[in-house]
A and B are shown apart, each in its own frame.
Chain A
């Protein structure tokens, strides 16, 4: 087990989740990745499919900002750093993690202990709960070098999870307080649509590509627009098929959470349970499509 975090590796991984510049080539090469970071590839992955912000995945709304971002900003302050404009961007999170490692090199024993705790909190509460599930989707959906990049990120973060004993950490209270996906039969369709796309509630990372795949599989029309808009119109065309297909995807992601629970701990278990709950709800809804229309989307 290494003594400290691989700060330089984390920094280089962080930089690649930012818009590519000519300078990225040297980093891609240093990381041994294939392909070239291109603006098109970057935009498709990080601007359209998989937004690299913790607040999108840890907030009850599944959107940028809000309390989830505030919580990250609070940790920045606790670490003696002024929060940047987007404190929850993955690049910033990995950057501060590496920075803590740098500072530790010159810290006394007491300060070092505090800094280690800071790293552990950052990882356990603001990165690990979403970054593994998210990275797997990046690896699944991206061209190189982002596919390889995602694999390296998973490997590096897992190494840190094990080094710092994150598996022993409880599920963050803030995540526990977020409810599951609300049942449209009792709460209406609007919350259901939003919740399904909110990772903190559903346990699922649903992308535009997922919706496109559903449309292709069921031979449905995919309306151009936000995910929620597209999903709404897919359900309008073939609710039973869409719900059933989505349930299948939920099962796949639930398996991913469950597999990680061994080394990632209760937080992964929490999301595994969420994903299974979402799967169950989707299946129930798919079988009740024949019931009164207002009960389902």
Chain B
């Protein structure tokens, strides 16, 4: 027998053994070389039991993939399910996941802490006393569902659709609940995005018609970050590994961060700007590139809407490109390096050095902003807008090594049933008149808008979201939530106790990442993938031959997954189908019966994910089984310049090209496996839909903007009251030096610590041990000036509405004249309430009229539980809840809450204690009204009598008629 024959014979033997579901190569063996168990061995993976050392005791696992549910990166996880006990023992990375590629940050493996948290919520609870009194009783799911569904049904029957609201933190899924709300006919989708990323999103949206960046870090020549993205932030794990790949290949890393973050330490150029000056820096770089001709003229000529700009702003409809360049040079001439140096405090020569690096990037400039400065400042949306100007000058958009728009690097498959109806009634609480251009719902203003509008929300879901803690002005939230004339019923859907759930009527136990189904896809490189989150014990038991139809059968306690919950709730809202809602949650195969999650996802994987059925068939699996086995699938890669793709002839029928080059067709929209979404571009007067743009005689797809081009000048901004901001420009922040009193300084609050993720990860003992407090970063020179002697001294930080007391950390890692405090930490539970013990202090809440106090009664510390580790908790300092002292700062254009605070810092006063918080909500109202004065309401500025530009993104779109403005004066006018 030859070597080849023998090789084939062994292969055949292996296939034969493994086809029986058995293992050919025993473990633990040295031949399993990869950092990850080979996927063919996931069904029976053997490791030595570390606890049995020095004995070699083998543990057998079934490895079941799922998706992390902590941050929104949706990294792949592998749950190690003990084959003997059918319990999850640990989580590690899923090497089959195209985004995270088997790598995880600390939060992924820490999922096991969340799953086994002794204080997690395992059963539905209903309040048994006054709302917020901390008295609860266990109820059945049936009781809770019937009560909630009955209330929602009455809202719908009585045409009170706007009184149903779903307030979500990070969704962790792609479109399931927005489609559900559309099916209910409810304009009640309330996201957290305006306290998160709306600033940056707005900047991107008004350039590209898409609202998020997808930088191709790995192939970049220059990586420009306005973030601490090597350590924290959206998609940081998938991005960080690619940033390092880029650096290894020679890319230069430029980091703008006022703090010396871990990311800044890796930078080739670290710029520590005065907060809010970032757009001035980018404009100075752009100006230098423009003045020196260091930009891609042909790209600018082809793809900017410069003709529209010259026509509308300069009245020169026949202007040449050269004339536009002349105007461009003039527009930005004042943004010199000296100007930017004066604003940012960074020497002009350093800025010039950075400009040379950026200008030398060609089309390989990868830029990124998600929160950071974009979320901190009045006008913060100009951070993304001016940074994207650099990409747009270089043509570094959707290029290898450049920055892609999110939608081209994301794949949201079409579901089996797509609600065709749209809400008929506009939610003015979420989309108020004063903020017509807000990219997302004005969620953080809810207490103020409810008060001003005398509104009532009958059914209010908070879903894995904690506005009392996360949002600014939390005491106003408590006031709203405890007022039953404002909130009829509050249902907190959460795996663990949080500050908002204390003020709920129902607390419903939801699953962590290994206990729920979700489908995700995020823009993390130039490719498209889907990731499947699944209840891993369900998948494990199904592999063993069991038939599981209700995830509660395998989850801890009565923890439920949301899809099954929503299907059941919807059926109880519309049990006989008379409301026309139930149909969207009915089985395709079994009319009149509920759709199951297996059918829902099975249909999607079979019908809406190109390539997946073939990949599954190659392994003898159904597409659903494939996703249950591997957890992720890459749909495409190297998507490239979609805007340059020619429009196929089949889509060109009775074509009309308007004077701006926009191409309209009568050809129907071709079927697509993707779920519909994105911007809405109006048809032409004859009803043709826009299909592309003509550029240099060729009809190509273009961008999903009103012009089909990159919108250097935004007609939307101009027409809706903001002509001075219609091109990329600089807005002085509310914490600009000229806006501060002499004893004030800016406080940065938006940064994260690397191992935590807002309140979602707080019930992880491992993460809490690493990071559990949030001191005040302050420079030694400031500490001396303010009389703060040493690290650990207590300081009082006064905002516009109150103060908080915390410990100082004197460090040169922060720019002089600026203080910083991470918004993580400071979790609490009121005295007398049950709740999470690890990572939470116990506090006394005190209210006297509008004056509120929070006093720390006990810190964290050891406690007895079923987990012996809780007796080993050695830390008591769990930080301070600073967000309570932040008033709302809604940017009048983007709607983003501008997080930075102008504060006065003094040594703590006699009587001050660590963790103290004091706030006057009457002052909160005054600050809200002050910022309201900056708005330009739709009722006064709408160019067409509508509430909001139709084309702009909106998670749930009401019917077109609902966009029409009612006949009334704006609130606060």
Cβ–Cβ contact B29 & A15, under 8 A: yes
B52: interface (CB < 8 Å): no
Shortest Cβ distance from B76 into chain A, in angstroms? 19
- Taking CB atoms and an 8 Å cut-off, the chain B residues in 1-24 that contact chain A are 1, 3-4, 6-11, 13-14, 17, 23-24
Cβ–Cβ contact B29 & A27, under 8 A: no
B35: interface (CB < 8 Å): yes
Chain B residue at smallest Cβ distance from A21: B26
Cβ–Cβ contact B4 & A11, under 8 A: no
A292: interface (CB < 8 Å): no
Q: How far is the CA of A29 from the CA of B7 in the complex (A)?
A: 13
> Which of B4, B13, B25 has the most chain A CB within a 10 Å cutoff?
B25
Q: CB-CB < 8 A to A251: which residues of B?
A: none
Chain A residue at smallest Cβ distance from B13: A30
B89: interface (CB < 8 Å): no
Cβ–Cβ contact A9 & B33, under 8 A: no
Q: CB-CB < 8 A to B23: which residues of A?
A: 23
Q: How far is the CA of A32 from the CA of B31 in the complex (A)?
A: 20
What bracket does the count of chain B residues touching chain A fall in? Answer: 20 to 34
Q: CB-CB < 8 A to A82: which residues of B?
A: 35
Q: How far is the CA of A18 from the CA of B32 in the complex (A)?
A: 12
Q: CB-CB < 8 A to A12: which residues of B?
A: 10, 14, 25
Q: How far is the CA of A56 from the CA of B11 in the complex (A)?
A: 32
Q: Known: A6-B3, A9-B10, A30-B13. Contact between A23 and B26, CB under 8 A?
A: yes
A96 partner, pick from B1, B13, B33, beta carbons under 8 A: B33
Shortest Cβ distance from B973 into chain A, in angstroms? 64
A276: interface (CB < 8 Å): no
Chain A residue at smallest Cβ distance from B6: A9
Q: How far is the CA of A22 from the CA of B17 in the complex (A)?
A: 14
Chain B residue at smallest Cβ distance from A96: B33
B34: interface (CB < 8 Å): yes
B30: interface (CB < 8 Å): yes
Q: Which of A87-95, A109-117, A202-210 contacts B (4 or more CB under 8 A)?
A: A87-95
Shortest Cβ distance from A22 into chain B, in angstroms? 8
Contact with B along A57-89 (1 / 0, CB 8 A): 000000000000000000000000110101001
Cβ–Cβ contact B33 & A2, under 8 A: no
Q: CB-CB < 8 A to B34: which residues of A?
A: 81, 99
Q: CB-CB < 8 A to B35: which residues of A?
A: 81-82
Cβ–Cβ contact B25 & A89, under 8 A: no
- Taking CB atoms and an 8 Å cut-off, the chain A residues in 1-28 that contact chain B are 2, 6-9, 11-12, 14-15, 18, 21-24, 26-27
Shortest Cβ distance from B812 into chain A, in angstroms? 35
Cβ–Cβ contact A91 & B29, under 8 A: yes
Q: How far is the CA of A12 from the CA of B40 in the complex (A)?
A: 15
Chain B residue at smallest Cβ distance from A99: B33
Q: Known: A81-B33, A91-B29, A99-B33. Contact between A9 and B7, CB under 8 A?
A: yes
Q: CB-CB < 8 A to B31: which residues of A?
A: 11, 14-15, 91-92, 94-95, 98
Q: CB-CB < 8 A to A27: which residues of B?
A: 10, 13, 24-25
Q: CB-CB < 8 A to A248: which residues of B?
A: none
Cβ–Cβ contact A18 & B7, under 8 A: no
Cβ–Cβ contact A95 & B26, under 8 A: no
> Which of A8, A14, A21 has the most chain B CB within a 10 Å cutoff?
A8
Shortest Cβ distance from A162 into chain B, in angstroms? 11
Q: CB-CB < 8 A to A84: which residues of B?
A: 30, 33
Q: CB-CB < 8 A to A6: which residues of B?
A: 3-4, 6-7
- Taking CB atoms and an 8 Å cut-off, the chain A residues in 150-167 that contact chain B are 152, 155-156, 159
Cβ–Cβ contact A159 & B3, under 8 A: yes
Give the tally of cross-chain contacts (CB within 8 A): 84
Cβ–Cβ contact A14 & B30, under 8 A: yes
A235: interface (CB < 8 Å): no
Cβ–Cβ contact A86 & B30, under 8 A: yes
Q: CB-CB < 8 A to B8: which residues of A?
A: 8
Q: Known: A26-B13, A95-B33, A99-B34. Contact between A11 and B25, CB under 8 A?
A: yes
A230: interface (CB < 8 Å): no
Q: Known: A8-B7, A152-B6. Contact between A91 and B30, CB under 8 A?
A: yes
A43: interface (CB < 8 Å): no
Cβ–Cβ contact A2 & B3, under 8 A: yes
Q: How far is the CA of A30 from the CA of B8 in the complex (A)?
A: 10
Shortest Cβ distance from A51 into chain B, in angstroms? 14
Cβ–Cβ contact A8 & B10, under 8 A: yes
Chain A residue at smallest Cβ distance from B3: A159
Cβ–Cβ contact A8 & B30, under 8 A: no
Q: CB-CB < 8 A to B11: which residues of A?
A: 8
> Which of B1, B7, B11, B24 has the most chain A CB within a 10 Å cutoff?
B7
Q: How far is the CA of A89 from the CA of B33 in the complex (A)?
A: 12
Contact with A along B679-696 (1 / 0, CB 8 A): 000000000000000000
Cβ–Cβ contact A9 & B3, under 8 A: yes
Q: CB-CB < 8 A to B7: which residues of A?
A: 6-9
Q: How far is the CA of A8 from the CA of B10 in the complex (A)?
A: 6
A31: interface (CB < 8 Å): yes
Q: CB-CB < 8 A to B26: which residues of A?
A: 15, 21-24
- Taking CB atoms and an 8 Å cut-off, the chain A residues in 27-67 that contact chain B are 27, 29-32
Q: Known: A6-B4, A152-B6. Contact between A92 and B24, CB under 8 A?
A: no
Cβ–Cβ contact B24 & A26, under 8 A: yes
Cβ–Cβ contact B6 & A2, under 8 A: no
Q: CB-CB < 8 A to B30: which residues of A?
A: 14, 18, 84, 86, 89, 91-92, 95
Q: How far is the CA of A94 from the CA of B7 in the complex (A)?
A: 14
Q: CB-CB < 8 A to A7: which residues of B?
A: 7
A155 partner, pick from B3, B24, B32, B33, beta carbons under 8 A: B3
Chain A residue at smallest Cβ distance from B8: A8
Shortest Cβ distance from A152 into chain B, in angstroms? 7
Cβ–Cβ contact B6 & A32, under 8 A: yes
Q: How far is the CA of A26 from the CA of B24 in the complex (A)?
A: 7
Q: How far is the CA of A82 from the CA of B31 in the complex (A)?
A: 13
Shortest Cβ distance from A146 into chain B, in angstroms? 17
Cβ–Cβ contact A31 & B33, under 8 A: no
Shortest Cβ distance from A167 into chain B, in angstroms? 18
A92 partner, pick from B6, B10, B14, B33, beta carbons under 8 A: B33
Shortest Cβ distance from B783 into chain A, in angstroms? 43
Shortest Cβ distance from A123 into chain B, in angstroms? 14
Q: CB-CB < 8 A to A152: which residues of B?
A: 6
> Which of A23, A31, A32 has the most chain B CB within a 10 Å cutoff?
A23
Chain A residue at smallest Cβ distance from B17: A26
> Which of A26, A98, A155 has the most chain B CB within a 10 Å cutoff?
A26
B24 partner, pick from A23, A91, A94, beta carbons under 8 A: A23
Q: CB-CB < 8 A to B14: which residues of A?
A: 8, 12, 30
Q: How far is the CA of A11 from the CA of B30 in the complex (A)?
A: 10
- Taking CB atoms and an 8 Å cut-off, the chain A residues in 94-122 that contact chain B are 94-96, 98-99
Q: Known: A24-B26, A156-B3. Contact between A30 and B32, CB under 8 A?
A: no
Shortest Cβ distance from A122 into chain B, in angstroms? 12
Cβ–Cβ contact A29 & B3, under 8 A: no
Q: CB-CB < 8 A to A26: which residues of B?
A: 13, 17, 24
Shortest Cβ distance from A25 into chain B, in angstroms? 10
> Which of A14, A30, A98 has the most chain B CB within a 10 Å cutoff?
A30
Chain A residue at smallest Cβ distance from B4: A2
Q: How far is the CA of A12 from the CA of B10 in the complex (A)?
A: 7
Cβ–Cβ contact B25 & A23, under 8 A: yes
> Which of A81, A95, A155 has the most chain B CB within a 10 Å cutoff?
A95
Chain B residue at smallest Cβ distance from A11: B31
List 3 A-B pairs, minimum CB-CB distance, nearest first.
A6-B7, A95-B31, A23-B26
Q: A-contacting residues of B (Cβ < 8 Å)?
A: 1, 3-4, 6-11, 13-14, 17, 23-26, 29-35
A–B pairs, 29, beta carbons within 8 Å: A2-B4, A6-B3, A6-B7, A8-B10, A8-B11, A8-B14, A9-B6, A9-B7, A11-B25, A11-B31, A12-B10, A14-B31, A15-B31, A23-B24, A23-B26, A26-B13, A27-B13, A29-B13, A30-B10, A30-B13, A32-B6, A82-B35, A84-B30, A91-B30, A92-B30, A99-B33, A152-B6, A156-B6, A159-B3
Q: Given A84-B33, A89-B30, A95-B29, 4 more contacts at CB 8 Å?
A: A6-B6, A23-B24, A26-B17, A81-B33
